[in-house]
Amino acid sequence: MSRILVADDDAAQLDLRCRLLETGGHRAIPAFSASETMRQLSSADVVVMDLRLPQTADGLALIRGIRAARARVPIILLTGWPADLEDRPEAELVSRIMPKPVRLESLLQAVAEVSAA
């Protein structure tokens, strides 16, 4: 069981992702903002985050902040706009980029893979 920090600025999506990850046997830790994500980062084995928080620039800054604080924590990035990462250095800082919508099985598989690495 991993402790997964889930970051999203959409309350409904945040709640849904947390509940789904918990049905997969994980402990989900919700974070509604980038600042809340950084405050709870030390308790996470994996970070699952949306790119737009609420703007792409916010998500990119959060990726850099996570890496500065905890270089090795795996980051799974969920995005409906993968092109926002094209030619961005932050793309190299995440463990996995998953285009939305993400199926639960795919997300659980990604969590297992990045946790084992």
Q: Which of 92-116 are b and which e, b meaning 16 or more Cβ less than 10 Å from the residue's Cβ? A: ebbbbebeeebeeeebbebbeebee
Structural domain count of the chain: 1
Nearest Cα to 111, choosing from 64, 74, 67? 74
Range of the structural domain that residue 50 is part of: 3-116
What mean pLDDT is predicted for residues 52-67?
90
Token code pair at residue 40: 């709870």
DSSP 3-state of 2: coil
pTM over 0.85: yes
Give the C-alpha separation, 117 to 38, whole Å.
Answer: 23
Q: Using one digit for the tens of pLDDT, what is the confidence trace for 43-55? A: 999 999 999 888 8
Pairing of the two strands 46-50 and 3-7: parallel
What does the pLDDT read at residue 87? Answer: 85
Report the CATH number that the domain containing residue 109 is assigned in CATH.
3.40.50.2300
What does the pLDDT read at residue 1? Answer: 82
